[in-house]
Structure 1
């Protein structure tokens, strides 16, 4: 196999279209491992048996080559154990492709919503580990880089899992760079229905707080095993956020647990996770915690009562009494 040309961006490989065609058997249907509005992901195997994931970006003719390379360069330098590593890219003619490390245990959506039998292999401990790892990956994107990276499409199908159930945030094809001098960037609204922050959906103004909202939805999805929006459910249960808030308001928090959980968590552990989720989806973006603070809350031994104010959107709850541990 010809060694891929080292790109002049200073990292990774600039793969040729021919190399990626050979690795994916001509982008064969049987090698498709993921599909979305932004591209199709293929399993690729090079001659040395090295396996990769090749994302063929759709509708990219309008994206200038310079912009593509700038964003790819920023993301290509990212190194974190909870982020899927971008190995290189291909930019030939109208083709724009991203080559990622291959993660070998599917994605979170498959394990939450796929046919896994009556009992999920995802124990409460595994689920909390997935939440914490995802939070750490996002904290690095938001707080460990300059310019910071806003992911824009946090959802269960973009959380990949390895054989030890470690989470890796994938799909930076939508990511936006946000320099420290700017509080937000205005973009065409992208993302996935049910996960998109309300202020971003209505104005197109994006910043890292939009990712925090999506992460809050993800926590609720992991706890409940429910999709963010599910029209097959009764009217009051279609929207995951509204249903979960109602359950908490009615002091039936345990009723939100995924029925496929092998064993229930302690009341304390459940309340901690729900508290973090509810804070992340605060309708007021400024009141949402930063991801670094989310990690602290998830790892803290005691509930962070002092800086909590959920009364703005859960007015029916005496939160202190709900959170109190007997």
Structure 2
């Protein structure tokens, strides 16, 4: 009941809203508003050949909305809330693809952080749940951003060994413009502003640093991503440089 009380106090446009609960013997349930488009994980990794991929503009806005949710948990809530389970399957998408972060306020139940998060998300310092901090959330968020950038899973055993861990494979290439262009999700078909891509990669590089103290606060991440969104919007209005393909029609670039 203490957990339910805490969750019921979380109110943010990018956090899944708790509608109710059941606390009877054998039936302990939390009831949330249904999000029509499922999870970000499903969109990125489980879509079939007939599914329309997320555009670059939508990906950046999903990252920004999720960052604002975590900023609220870390820097607005008193006391601060550490999520401890930040991953793409816990980022739900509503009817217009706005993100709603789920599992907020449930950190007390995550006894084994590594198993709960799944391979690829766990920060290097978190060998036990007690080691998890707000900076650990930042790392996991950086991994989600990598998923948005590359379309790859955080850990994929089907890839060559050197590419199985997304962070280990991608981190050395984030500041290499040519390598970065090769890393981008092929589903985007080259439709993105290169400057926005570079800035997005810069934010990722900060978030996934191995030393927690060097990772930024989420408020800094929000500011950086807001600039990415602003730059993307300016490019759309001016019909600017989306990519070497020079395609900028709204049917291929923007919301759908």
| TM-based fold match above 0.5 | yes
Q: Are 1:275 and 2:207 matched, yes or no?
A: no
Secondary structure at 1:252's aligned position in 2? Answer: helix
Q: Which runs of at least 4 in structure 1 moved beyond 4 Å after TM superposition? A: none
Per-residue CA deviations over 1:130-181 (Å, capped at 9, x if unaligned) read: 000000011111111111111111111111111211011012363249xxxx
Please give the alpha-carbon distance, in whole angstroms, between the structure 2 residues aligned to 1:249 and 1:235.
22
Please give the alpha-carbon distance, in whole angstroms, between the structure 2 residues aligned to 1:286 and 1:172.
23
Please give the alpha-carbon distance, in whole angstroms, between the structure 1 residues aligned to 2:216 and 2:60.
18
Q: Which has the higher strand share?
A: 1
Q: Are 1:244 and 2:176 matched, yes or no?
A: no
Please give the alpha-carbon distance, in whole angstroms, between the structure 2 residues aligned to 1:263 and 1:249.
18
Largest Rg, 1 or 2: 1
5+ unaligned residues in a row in structure 1: which ranges? Answer: 1-68, 178-185, 302-326
Per-residue CA deviations over 1:13-56 (Å, capped at 9, x if unaligned) read: xxxxxxxxxxxxxxxxxxxxxxxxxxxxxxxxxxxxxxxxxxxx
Secondary structure at 2:158's aligned position in 1? Answer: coil
Q: Assess, with a 3 A threshold, how the Cα gap between structure 1 residues 242 and 154 changes in structure 2: closer, same or farther.
A: same
TM-score for both structures, normalised by structure 2: 0.81
Aligned residue in 2 for 1:257: 184
Per-residue CA deviations over 1:172-228 (Å, capped at 9, x if unaligned) read: 363249xxxxxxxx9643422211111123573121111111000000011100000
**How much has 1:245 moved relative to structure 2?**
2.0
Structure 1, 290-299 or 259-268: larger mean CA deviation: 259-268
Please give the alpha-carbon distance, in whole angstroms, between the structure 2 residues aligned to 1:242 and 1:264.
26
Q: Are 1:136 and 2:68 matched, yes or no?
A: yes
Q: Are 1:218 and 2:116 matched, yes or no?
A: no
Please give the alpha-carbon distance, in whole angstroms, between the structure 2 residues aligned to 1:199 and 1:247.
22
Secondary structure at 2:174's aligned position in 1? Answer: helix
Q: Are 1:109 and 2:70 matched, yes or no?
A: no
5+ unaligned residues in a row in structure 2: which ranges? Answer: 229-256
Aligned residue in 1 for 2:92: 160
Please give the alpha-carbon distance, in whole angstroms, between the structure 2 residues aligned to 1:84 and 1:105.
13
